[in-house]
Amino acid sequence: MAKKAYGASATPVRTPRDTEYAAFARITQRIRSSASKGTEDFAGLARALHDNRKLWTILATDVAGKTNGLPDQLRSQIIYLFGFVNLQSSKVLRGQASAEPLIEINTAIMRGLRQEARSE
């Protein structure tokens, strides 16, 4: 009984980086799926873009904080991408642009999160 109680957990511990990666992966997949359906799933695309904007708002707010430990240049780049994501999302919703750049940006962020996790 004690072995069971104190033994190795079947659920792996999630790091903040793993949580960020999972959020980006989930939202990116929703954008990709909805965008591929065209106007058939406009509501799904709108929800996915809204959630993507919320995720980027959280990320930008975090990196803008004085206690954030990222290098200043990376923080500036993330703030710039936040602005681009907002603008591009508006264009996508108006039918003036593709969601593909948003998917590419999120995918690049996910690659960066994975590379940083490997180097720790």
Give the chain's largest Cα–Cα span.
62
Q: String of b and e for 16-55 (b: at least 16 CB within 10 Å)?
A: eeeebbebbeebbebbbebbeeeeebeeebeebbeebbeb
Nearest to 30 by CA among 102, 115, 85: 102
Per the document, the length of the chain is 120
Chain-centroid distance, C-alpha 43: 20
pLDDT tens string for the chain (120 positions)? 555 555 555 566 778 889 999 999 999 999 999 999 999 999 999 999 999 999 999 999 999 999 999 999 999 999 999 999 999 999 999 999 999 999 999 999 999 998 865 655
